[in-house]
Amino acid sequence: MALLSAAAMAVYPPVAVTIFLSWSLMWLFGASGKKAPPASFVKRLLLLAGMAALLVLLHWPTLAATRPYGPPLGTADWMVYPEAGKRGRGSPGMDDTWMESLRNEWRESVETAFVNKHNPFLPRVHAQVVPPLAGSGFAAAWTLLAAAGVALGWRSLPALRRLWAFVPATLIGHFVAYFGFPLLHLPDRLFRYPAQLLWILLGPLSLMLLSRRLGALLERRHPGLGGWTGRLGGPLLLVAVLALFGGMPSAGRNLSIRLHRADRRLLEFIATLPPDALIAGWPDSRVINTLPYMTARRVLVSKESSLAYHRNYVHETRRRTRALFEAYFATNVAPWRALRERWNVTHLIVKTDIYEDQDIDYYLPYERWIRQARAAAGTNGMETLRRRAAAVYDDGKSFVLDLTVW
């Protein structure tokens, strides 16, 4: 577990913190939940302190790399930087109090684990029954079920006691990440990952243990019936839970990238451009957000990378995004030249439907800047549309302009 947490810290800190905290609690207090002898406890504590220092050293290069981004944005900055709030690109729940954030993550972790959009067993029943259950009541019911299973199996199942270490580890991790944001990435990641694992493991296990206890009680009054209830009740309940709650949250919540045929053709063209090409395009489009992964080419700005965690980073994102909007709604080539001269942008991807949509949905404060750029263009016509005949790529819905020639 120590090696696993060290390896995870080099890849994804939230997982490393959860593994380390869970392992520390199990190792300090043992699988039985009883405290180790004082001498042994002190030695274990010292070893864990050394391990924690190693994890900090592994995470230090990541922290050092964020220094040019400026100081982290805190609660006092949310009025000045609305993109850090709920309607922006900040950390989910950071504009709530810690208790509010914890309560929301607790409820959403249960919903994410059991309220699915793609149930392969009973899709109609799932769609009609399960979503209305979502909310605090459903989360509370599943939490009580998990707690009942833990109470029933605490003495007889050492593995259950070890699994229960995830609970304080999850709370501690969320607390540290919330008040130390963004040093350990997003607080919700340190809650949802272990919490969803707990719900999925403890819920079915609790059903099995409750079935056995019910079978034992029935056996006293109806010999023979209780045995069958204990042996068959649990598996039948598990099958029912799987049929009703099983499935995937959504088709897109995985590592796959789903693109329309036109988007694929556009990305195939972008991949033919020189490796040092810098592409500008509408930051909320699927093409721009997947372009670096699919073509190994850089983008000026994208919604995926517009994270409102650090002050200097937000200011640079604002400068780039605002310059892009001005280029999109330009009535002459001057904003294009500004992109080229300041950031070495080589190509501009133009989505024609942007000009047709009069109420573009983005996030604050950029929605206001989009309206300002559109209003500044007035009825003079967009320079991008006037120059469309010079596009180096055009599929009818999107076209690409080479800015190096203007």
If asked whether residues 184 and 279 sit together in one domain, one would say: no
Among 227, 254, 281, which residue terminates a domain? 254
Q: Is residue 389 scored above 90 in pLDDT?
A: yes
- Considering the domain architecture, whether residues 214 and 157 belong to the same structural domain is answered as yes
**Are residues 125 and 217 part of one domain?**
yes
Same domain membership, residue 14 and residue 157: no
Q: Is residue 82 part of a domain?
A: no
Task: Kindly state whether residues 185 and 246 are assigned to the same domain.
Answer: yes
Q: Is residue 81 part of a domain?
A: no
pLDDT exceeds 50 at position 60: yes
Model pTM greater than 0.75? yes
280-307 pLDDT, tens digit each: 999 999 999 999 999 999 999 999 899 8
Distances (CA, A) of 193 to 21, 115, 196: 14, 16, 6
- 83, part of any domain: no
Domain that holds residue 152: 88-254
314 in the same domain as 245: no
Confidence of residue 269 (pLDDT cuts 50, 70, 90): very high
Split at pLDDT 50, 70, 90, the class of 230 is low
Query: pLDDT tier at 32 (50, 70, 90 boundaries)?
Result: very low
Distance between CA atoms of 98 and 84, rounded to whole angstroms? 16
- Asked which of 70, 96, 128 is the last residue of a domain, the reply is 70
Q: Answer yes or no: do 265 and 249 share one domain.
A: no
Between CA 204 and CA 212, with CA 208 as vertex, the angle to 5 degrees is 165
SS3 per-residue string spanning 146-183: HHHHHHHHCCCCHHHHHHCCHHHHHHHHHHHHHHCCCC
78 in any annotated domain? no
Whether 104 and 120 map to the same domain: the answer is yes
Task: Count how many domains the chain has.
Answer: 3
Query: Is the same domain home to 348 and 276?
Result: yes
pLDDT of residue 134: 67
Query: Which residue, of 197, 224, 254, is where some domain finishes?
Result: 254
The whole-number average pLDDT for the span 323-349 is 94
Residue 389 resides in a domain: yes
- 318, 382: one domain: yes
User: Does any domain span residue 92?
Assistant: yes
Tell me if 79 is assigned to some domain: no
In a domain, 80, yes or no: no
Alpha helices for 299-378 (secondary structure H): 311-328, 334-343, 353-356, 366-377
Say whether both 272 and 233 belong to one domain. Answer: no
Q: DSSP string spanning 55-85?
A: HHHHHHHHHHHTGGG-SBP-GGGTTT-GGGS
More reliable by pLDDT, 92 or 50: 50
State how far the alpha carbon of 66 is from the alpha carbons of 76, 116, 175, 185, 317, in Å. 20, 36, 22, 12, 15
State residue 43's pLDDT score. 82
Q: Are residues 164 and 200 in the same domain?
A: yes
